[in-house]
Structure 1
């Protein structure tokens, strides 16, 4: 029997890796991420207490960021020049999502206005929880509603996107012959991502480790210092641990709270997903970009989880990551205003 300190991580990782391997072997879109999320969430809801240590979580997020950065080239500025329209569309989508889901929660499910404002944010879960912990709204309700959103988006979006695209694109372990980095540059990028992530986290940056990994790797690839992606097993481990982190969030939610708020969480997530899909459809029509790619970039999931899904589905990593980081920054700016409006 593992010691009490090791029991939670042993449960989380012992369930996440086999489930991820099974989902991936079955050909599920983003199978490693989905399998780990589903298995660990089930364990959490069963009261088994899965835990992912902070250092593993941060390393996994840095790995996802480094993997995303491998898709950046010296042509990145030319690509960004095409994105203002989609970023504006995303901003409007965020505003509509917060207004519509907040109203749904208050009018349809009797959630208090300040709790609804924090629960309606399509991202920035940690920030919303921190505000709730300071006395704004019902902390348990905010955690439950936000966690339902993360779980549903992570589990349901990849199959939906794959169905829309007609077939699941190849995952990172079958990346069509992409050159793999050698052990030394791969390790150097991961360590640099973790170190820079620590600095950004200390500075209060959102999604610090993913952002740092993306910046370090993107800069190295854009300048031609390195060429190639992280080895497949490293990316697989990053997906598995990220999925375990998402699933383990349910450990902190009491089952009565979850059962009481499940219907509200499902309804709010459905509205958020529908609005993000509508916004993505409009942007795709206006810009000629692929609708599935834009929807992944607009979807109201966690930054790390959505970036991992985009990576697993083979979509433009810089596009997806940039839009999700923009979404989190926008939500952080908007939440205090939403709380002020809810208090009137």
Structure 2
């Protein structure tokens, strides 16, 4: 029943956030209220089974952002992607300095806590390398929470974008035809099955996203995700993020969140710098480049992009490349640095 309690608290948080005009209420409201409930010891449990259903749906949503005209933007995409390695190095270095020299984490825990992406992978690889798994997980959960919250308020305060449905046209379930539903459900089911077989990162999202993008690029459907489905996805993802703080001592939570705020500020500075440079060189709207480089999780940043009405294909592709780069390079660099430290 813990997951029902968590979702109920999350729904209450969403409704409160909507009522008071909170930015991105359907994600931020549940995230904040469930986090407070988890820290306070409430009997909440992450709705992971529901999340398994939501993730393929999210992948289909991301794929719907691709369209035949997408290829006309490849040049702009290439210039943006070229900055991703620079961003990863800058963000990684800034966070490592915080966790190692301010937080006094051991080198292994500090290293895997500093990666700007790949929460589950960094937690598992870091634990196998001898790091403290709970601290690595808490560092990444805090990063996602802080990035989504800060980006929501940045868009609310500076760009006056408040919530889902205000930046994009509302889409109802009745707006999709039976053919649209058949195609999109097939993408979700087949992609969720094939993705893990191909060992894709975030396979439950990327598998359906690839199939959905192919369907949309081929022009077989141009349907947009229903607004209600986006809101439900945000509710579930916000609740899951909040539940990550369950059963962690309050003293440890506040200390590590404080460190995460400092580390994430360094990451966000790197993201803002790269976003400004790309925007100046390509003419892409600064709102979109900020979403592109913000070091949040793929599901959370994708939902944020949908809510803000930005180019989901562009942003999601950049985040996937960032996560792939982190997952591929972080273990290799760790082994190189570990070998060099012996001499």
Q: Which residue of 2 aligns with 1:3?
A: none
Q: Which residue of 2 aligns with 1:20?
A: 14
Change (3 A) 1:70 1:170: farther
Q: Which residue of 1 aligns with 2:258?
A: 263
- d(CA) in 1 for partners of 2:306 and 2:10? 19
How big is each residue's C-alpha offset from its partner over 1:53-95, in whole Å with a ceiling of 9 and x where there is no partner? 4331122222222222222211121122321111111221111
Deviates more, 1:23-32 or 1:260-269: 23-32
- d(CA) in 2 for partners of 1:27 and 1:221? 34
Pair 1:175-2:168 in alignment: yes
Deviates more, 1:94-103 or 1:170-179: 170-179
TM-score by length of 1: 0.90
- d(CA) in 2 for partners of 1:72 and 1:24? 30
Q: Which residue of 2 aligns with 1:232?
A: 227
TM-score by length of 2: 0.91
Change (3 A) 1:61 1:324: same
Pair 1:103-2:97 in alignment: yes
Q: Which residue of 1 aligns with 2:248?
A: 253
2:149 is paired with a residue whose SS is: helix
Give, in angstroms, the shift of residue 206 of structure 1: 1.4
What does 1:130-209 align with in structure 2 at a 5 Å threshold? Answer: 130-165=124-159, 167-168=160-161, 171-172=164-165, 175-176=168-169, 180-182=175-177, 185-186=180-181, 188-190=183-185, 192-209=187-204
1:81 is paired with a residue whose SS is: helix
Pair 1:241-2:208 in alignment: no
User: What is the count of residue pairs matched by the alignment?
Assistant: 337
Work out whether residues 164 and 231 of structure 2, in 8 Å CA contact, stay in contact via their aligned partners in 1: no
What does 1:206-225 align with in structure 2 at a 5 Å threshold? Answer: 206-225=201-220
Work out whether residues 65 and 210 of structure 1, in 8 Å CA contact, stay in contact via their aligned partners in 2: yes
Gaps of 5+ in 2: none
How big is each residue's C-alpha offset from its partner over 1:171-217, in whole Å with a ceiling of 9 and x where there is no partner? 24773265832366336514531431232134432122221232222
| 2:25 paired residue among 28, 31, 35 | 31
| 1:307 paired residue among 299, 302, 311 | 302
How big is each residue's C-alpha offset from its partner over 1:206-244, in whole Å with a ceiling of 9 and x where there is no partner? 122221232222222222222321322222111111111
Work out whether residues 173 and 232 of structure 1, in 8 Å CA contact, stay in contact via their aligned partners in 2: no
Q: Which residue of 1 aligns with 2:280?
A: 285
- d(CA) in 2 for partners of 1:316 and 1:174? 12
Work out whether residues 172 and 235 of structure 1, in 8 Å CA contact, stay in contact via their aligned partners in 2: no
Give, in angstroms, the shift of residue 303 of structure 1: 0.6
Deviates more, 1:284-293 or 1:217-226: 217-226
What is the RMSD computed on CA atoms of the aligned residues?
A: 2.2
Give, in angstroms, the shift of residue 258 of structure 1: 1.7
| 1:43 paired residue among 37, 40, 44 | 37
Change (3 A) 1:36 1:186: farther
Which 4+ stretches in 1 moved above 6 angstroms?
none
- d(CA) in 1 for partners of 2:21 and 2:179? 31
Pair 1:129-2:126 in alignment: no
- d(CA) in 1 for partners of 2:333 and 2:253? 24
Work out whether residues 113 and 122 of structure 2, in 8 Å CA contact, stay in contact via their aligned partners in 1: yes
Q: Which residue of 2 aligns with 1:55?
A: 49
